[in-house]
Each structure stands twice: as structure tokens, then as C-alpha cells.
Amino acid sequence: MDAESKQQHVHAVFESIAPKYDFMNDVLSFRRHKAWRRFTMRKMEVQPGQKSLDLCCGTCDWTIALAKASGGEAVGLDFSRNMLNIGQAKVDKLGLGGQIKLVQGNAMELPFADNSFDYVTIGFGLRNVPDLMQVLREMKRVVKPGGKVVCLELSKPSWQPFKGLYYFYFEKLLPLLGKWLVKRYEQYRWLPESLAAFPDLQDLAERFRQVGLRNVRAYPLTGGIAALHIGTKGNDGA
Ligand SMILES: C[S@@+](CC[C@H](N)C(=O)[O-])C[C@H]1O[C@@H](n2cnc3c(N)ncnc32)[C@H](O)[C@@H]1O
């Protein structure tokens, strides 16, 4: 699939599954994603007043967690209007409209100035973009010197027999659950397809280094089915 087709496909997938996205996340990950998000926030050590940008924010769970943790400003960016509408409803319900701004835009080309944010995050989004190096370069560009680029994403378990069992679930059963529960087989087939071409734990850490991020840390989660990567932009801005 070429870059343009991938982008259009991904956009169509999320426009279509938006109303059921949160429910299906809980079901398909056996609620593990909530533990991964809590682990991530602990490792980030967000400080009061810090400003964050959450790319591919979708229904905004991470954007909201960032705003709550800092008490400061958080910006969420996503290209799916339907996903953002659900996120905006959550933000409004929590009374966080003064802190959180949602922007419809493309993670490949960020509408923000250089050195603007203390944290730039991307949750389960990097696997979906047409060019992950371009997105990492953009994340590094808009984070402040000394700030952090953080990616929480599905990854590739390596040890048997867990690996075999997991891939049977992920590739065969998961799309069927999408079909049975929310009538979206093709959309949930995208999940294993998108992981196939995505780098594993060490390879993604190397990509972080290649864009110039420093002190890169990579944490496998739940036997390696997900991973957290954190990199720091040099204090010299390089
Ligand atoms: C799997 S969801 C993740 C949502 C949220 N970050 C979370 O942790 O639940 C992926 C999101 O990335 C968005 N997305 C994918 N490619 C994008 C791009 N190039 N620019 C902006 N958003 C994109 C989709 O619209 C979708 O909302």
C-alpha cells in the first residue's frame, strides 16, 4: 500500500469505528491498555505546569491524563473528526475545556512552531502513519530542548509459546471479534496488518536515536505485546 492509500485507509477505519473505539479497546486488550497508560504516566513524571502535545489523540484518554497530571495546557491532534468529537465530549464533561485544545490535523506535518512543548506523545498512532520517521522528526522538532518524545504502541512479543498463542489471537480471533461485536471485520483486520510492517522494540529505539533523540529508553509491556519508548531532545536543541 503506498503512503497516500495507507493514509486514506487509516482515516476511513477510524472514522468508521470511532463510536465503538473505547469499548473495543477494553475488550480486545482485556483492559491491559489501561495498565500500559498508567505505567507510561509514571515513567513520564510530568511536572506541574508542563505543556504537552498528544498526537493521534483519538478519543483523548492520554490527552486528558496529561492535562490532569500537569494542571497545565494539553493539545490533542488527530485527523479523524469522529474520533475528536468523542474526545471533545469527554473533555467537556470533565470541565477541562480551559486546559485542553483539540486540533484536526496531520501528524506528518505539525501546525506548531519549533520547541513548543515539554512533552510530545503518540499513543497507538505511530503504527498507523505513512512515514514513522517523518512523524518522529516532527515530534522532535516541536518538543523543547530537554523535553521528551514518548511513544506507547503495540509491539512484537519474541518468546515462545506466548508468541504463537498471541499471534493466533491477534491475527485470527481479533478481527472476528470486531465482526461479531461491532460488525467491523475489515477495520479490525487492519490492526494485525499495521503491526506487520512496524519495527520491534529495539528497532524502534534505534529509529528514535536516528532522528537525534537521546537517552532513549524502551520498555516491553505484557510480554512484549506493547512497548513504551521515551527519548529526550538535547538541551542544545540538536
Ligand atoms: C489507535 S487510535 C489511538 C487513539 C489514542 N491515541 C489512544 O491512545 O487511544 C489511532 C489514532 O490515530 C489517528 N491517526 C492516524 N494517522 C494519523 C495522521 N497521519 N495524522 C493524525 N492522526 C492520525 C487516527 O485517526 C486515530 O484516532
Distance 56 CA to ligand 1 centre (A): 3
102-137 per-position pLDDT tens digit: 999 999 999 999 999 999 999 999 999 999 999 999
Residue 133 lies in a domain: yes
Which residue's CA is minimally distant from atom 14 of ligand 1? 56
- The CATH number given to whatever domain includes residue 141 is 3.40.50.150
Choice between 163 and 98, residue whose per-residue pLDDT is larger: 98
d(CA 138, CA 143): 9
Identify the domain containing residue 24 by its residue range. 3-232
**Number of the ligand 1 atom closest to the C-alpha atom of 135:** 19
For atom 25 of ligand 1, the residue with the nearest CA is 80
Report if residue 160 sits inside a domain.
yes
Given a cut of 90, whether residue 89 has pLDDT beyond it is yes
- Asked whether residue 125 is domain-assigned, the answer is yes
Note whether residue 34 is domain-resident: yes
Compute, in angstroms, the gap from residue 136 CA to the centroid of ligand 1: 14
- Is residue 150 in a domain? yes
What's the confidence (pLDDT) of residue 185? 74
Strands 52-55, 74-78: pairing kind = parallel
Does 59 belong to an annotated binding site?
Answer: yes
* pLDDT of the residue at 161: 87
Classify residue 14: in a domain, yes or no.
yes
Give the neighbor-by-neighbor strand order of the sheet with 52-55: 100-104, 74-78, 52-55, 117-123, 143-154, 226-232, 214-221
Tell me 172's DSSP state: I
Residue 78 marked ligand-binding: yes
Its pTM stands at 0.95
Determine if ligand 1 sits within 6 Å of the CB of residue 80: yes
Tell whether 74 is covered by a domain.
yes
Is 238 within a domain? no
Number of domains, the chain: 1
